[in-house]
Structure formats: structure tokens, C-alpha cells
Amino acid sequence: MANAAANTVDTVTENTQFDFDAIVIGTGPGGEGAAMGMVKTGMSVAVIERHSAVGGGCTHWGTIPSKALRQSVSQLIHFNTNPLFSEAGRDKRLTFPQILGHAEGVIRQQTRLRAGFYDRNRVSLLTGEAAFIDKHTIEVTHADGSTQKISAKTIVIATGSRPYRPSDVDFNSRRIYDSDTILSLKHDPRSIIIYGAGVIGSEYASIFRGLSVKVDLINTRERLLSFLDNEISDALSYHLTYNGAVIRNSEEYQNIKEVDDGVILQTKSGKRFKADCLLFANGRTGNTDKLNLAAVGIQADGRGQLKVNENYQTEVDNIYAVGDVIGYPSLASAAYDQGRIAAQSISEGTAQSKLIEDIPTGIYTIPEISSVGKTEQELTAAKIPYEVGKAQFKHLARAQIGGSTIGGLKILFHPDSKEILGIHCFGTAASEIVHIGQAIMQQKGKANTVEYFITTTFNYPTMAEAYRVAALNGLNRLF
């Protein structure tokens, strides 16, 4: 976004004394990255957190709890399918409230760790709801109703996002949840409708099926996670279906209502679904509605998101925004980097570094998915020639030893230059394995070729050995 205000001189600040050099609103990954980046340069920084503990939605309702839940369920599945541990015909069973205990323990550890960062770096932490009074002044309303005004030369908005809640769905119902409130589920449902088959919906579909809960997954699109490589998307669809989930593509709800013994969803196509409860997981909204943005002349879009330039600066020269509140890519990993880059821009006048072009995606379904770079359909649409190298995990000794033989690795590379164009992984440890390929993709020139994987030596047995197998497979296709 072109930003004329970025070049203007704020004459008001030249002779003004502020309480802090910078204020950061929000303590999720974006806010943390910005706060730590600025305080390391000697700036005085205050952070404002609306909740009682730091970490933002990532730590308390999103990334950390859902991945902790997924890990517990994945271990349960492994236990029940491993003949060394399970008894024939007698699977161990856990309920959703039971596995929440593990997630809560991880959240506590993460909260203590992140709170320590602010304390050790002498960042002032204020708890309360933040709202702009003017472009340099924030009013903080504390839980007891008292207010406090603080000022700073620079302000960073890192308020994150929350689940989208359409007005015609009754989220006060005891049977209708979103991805935040599902963590308060106390009963043990026998069936669940999940509306929205994006990353969150697909992850929770895996979790609940792993707990033997009947799952109806309602997808508003033609295929699951259409941004993925088609082969990976198809693999996820197959395994969810194979494990008992029912997927309904290209459906939208007409109405959702609670009844005495459950909840009923009716689609616009006339289908009706009934379950013990419903998880609405269709979209996110930026947390900007309580910031009083009108006081500084900033306007959020229909989903509560803000526009920024390459330095994460809004149209108001001293106000920046990072993380989910600016939309894509809406990843915790990217949000931290955005905060760090914004801090560099604030402290040095411009950012020397930028967010990398190929951001890895990790999706913690069962099995998990991770990818970086281009998909086959993107390369085909761009008329870029490519070859494919594949390795199936069932052929790897490490996968056989661990009983994790589902899935595999796919490398896309240019047939002439051998440059790696994309890495796609499906199966155990996919989100870890992908970083090996990412590291090579980030190299320049001849260092970024698929041939690297056959000229290096991998530990044996390892899952990483899949790169050598896939590279040989792909190079053998050339002529």
C-alpha cells in the first residue's frame, strides 16, 4: 500500500514528552516480536494485554491448545493401533475433557515462559482494554473499571483475531461453539457437526474422530484446503473419510438451531444434519472493534483487518500493525517475524529485512501436513515446467520402526536447472521434515537444487532420508 503519511514529519512529537517510546497492544506472537525487537535497541516499551495472562489467542485458544489436543489424540491412536500395547478388541478411550488437561498444562508453561521475556527485558506490562484517544495516547480500562492513560511516540497494533460469528447463529447456546469456546466443552459428545473445513475445522475433525466421536464436516468449498497441492488435499480427504468422518463439500448453512437433544444444521441445498453439538469454524475477524480507531482516522475492513505498507505502517505515520489483524498469512510464525520487522522499521527508520516469500505452512491434522513453495497446479497455471520426486514413508526404515508409514514426501523441481520449486509432506513429523527442504530452497544459485539431497549423507534410519529417496525418484524421471 502506498503510504504518503510515512514521509510526513510529525511536528507534534519534536518537543513532546511521552511516557514510553512505544506501546504495543497485544502480547501474541506479533506483539511479542515487536516489543522484544524494540526493547533490544534501548527503547522504552509498554505492552497492553486485555486478558489476565500474556500470550494472546495463539497461546490460550488457538495454536498451542489445538496442537496439544491433537498430540494427545495422535498418541492415543498410536497406542490403540500398536499391537505391542493394545489388547485385542479393547481400545483405550479418552474423552475431550480428559485430553484438555494436557493442553492446559502446556498453556501454563508457555504463559510463564512468555511472561518471563517481558519481565527480564523490563517491558512494562499493563492489563486491560486498550482504546485510542489520539495517535499518541491510549486509554487502558482495567478489569475493576478504573482507567489509565499512557502515551508513546509509536504504537503497534497486534490485537490478533477471533472466530467469525454470524449474527444468525446463537453462540449463547449450550451446544454451539466456536474455536475459542470449544475449549470449554465439558461433556463427552457422541457426535459433532463441524461447519467450515479450513485449517481449524479439519484439525478438529481429526481430533474428534480420534476420540471416536461421529463427525460431519461441512465444507463451503469444492475441496478440502484448496490452497494445498491437490494430491495432498486428496490424501487428507481420503484419510479423514477412511477414519470415519463424513465430508460434505460445496455446502452452506441455511439455519442452525438448538433442539432438546442436540443441534440441527440445515443447508441451502436442503440437507439436514443433527449432532450433540456444533463447532462453527468458518473464518476469523480482526480484533479492532474496541480500539476506537475513529479517533485516529484509521478504518478497518469488513473483517476487522487493517491495511499496512511494506514496513507494517498504517496510513497514520506512527501507528503500525502486525499479525492476524492485517490478514494473510495469519500464521503465528509469520506474525512474530512481522513484529520483528516492524520493530526494525521503527528503530532504524526502515526495515532491512522482509518476510520470506516462501512461508512454510503446517496443518496439524492426523496425519499432519506441511508445505513450502509452489503447488503442482500453481506451476501448471504459470506454465513453469517441473518434475516430481516422491518418497513414500512406508518404504523408510524409520517409519517402519515407529509404525508411522502413512504418507510421504513430494519434491517439485525444474527439470533443467534442478531448482527446487516446492516441498509437500503428508504424515508423521511433516511440519518438522519440511524445514530441511525449506533450508535448501532459501539458498542461492546452484546450492538450491534437488541434487543436494543425493550428494549429502543422512542419518540412517531417519524420516529425513525421504529427501534422498524422493530426489533419486525425481531425477530418474528426467531424460
Tell me, yes or no, whether 426 and 463 share the same domain. Answer: yes
Cell of 391: 518418497
**pLDDT tens digits, 115-133:** 999 999 999 999 999 999 9
Tell me what the pLDDT averaged over the chain comes to: 93
Are residues 141 and 27 located together in one domain of the fold? yes
Confidence of residue 84 (pLDDT cuts 50, 70, 90): confident
Q: Which helix (H) or strand (E) holds 219?
A: none
Q: Is residue 70, in this structure, part of any structural domain at all?
A: no
Tell whether 180 and 130 lie within a shared domain.
no
Tens digits of residue pLDDT in 250-269: 999 999 999 999 999 999 99
Question: Is residue 69 within 8 Å of residue 207, measured between CB atoms?
Answer: yes
- pLDDT grade, residue 424 (50/70/90)? very high
297-349 per-position pLDDT tens digit: 999 999 999 999 999 999 999 999 999 999 999 999 999 999 999 999 999 98
Q: Are residues 278 and 300 in the same domain?
A: no
pLDDT band at 90; cut points 50, 70, 90: low
Indicate whether 422 belongs to any domain: yes
Question: Which residue from 195, 201, 360 is spatially nearest to 271, judged by alpha carbons?
Answer: 195
**Does the residue 76 lie in any domain?**
no
Residues 330 and 238 in one domain: no
pLDDT (0 to 100) of residue 86 = 62
Give percent of the chain with pLDDT exceeding 70. 96
108 and 218 in one domain?
Answer: no
Residue where one domain finishes, among candidates 266, 282, 298: 282
130 vs 312: CA distance, rounded Å: 20
pLDDT tops 50 at residue 97: yes
Q: Which residues, listed in sequence order, are joined to residue 134 by a DSSP beta bridge?
A: 137
Same domain, 130 and 272: no
Residues of the domain holding 268: 176-282
Q: Verify that 253 and 339 share a domain, yes or no.
A: no
Same domain? 18 vs 144: yes
Of 282, 305, 335, the one marking the end of a domain is 282
Is the same domain home to 326 and 428?
A: no
The pLDDT of residue 4 is 38
pLDDT value at position 8? 38
Q: How confident is the model at residue 13 (pLDDT cuts 50, 70, 90)?
A: low
Same domain, 269 and 305: no
Q: Which residues contact 112 (CB under 8 A, 6 or more apart)?
A: none
pLDDT band at 410 (very low <50, low <70, confident <90, very high): very high
pLDDT of residue 1: 41
> Which of 304, 309, 299, 367 minimizes the C-alpha distance to 338?
309
pLDDT of residue 66: 92
Rounded alpha-carbon distances, angstroms, from residue 269 to 94, 220, 253, 272, 275: 36, 12, 9, 9, 19
Report pLDDT for 357: 87
| Mean of pLDDT values over 399-403 | 92
Domain end (from 253, 282, 311): 282
Report the CATH number that the domain containing residue 319 is assigned in CATH. 3.50.50.60
Same domain, 272 and 291: no
CB 410 within 8 A of CB 424: yes
pLDDT at 146 > cutoff 60: yes
> In CATH, what number is assigned to the domain containing residue 386?
3.30.390.30
Instruction: Say if CB 115 and CB 59 are below 8 A apart.
Output: no
90 part of a folded domain: no
Domain count, the chain: 3
Q: For residue 6, give the DSSP letter.
A: G
Give me the DSSP letters along 388-443.
EEEEEGGG-HHHHHHT--SEEEEEEE-TTT--EEEEEEEETTHHHHHHHHHHHHTS
Query: Is residue 2 pLDDT above 70, yes or no?
Result: no
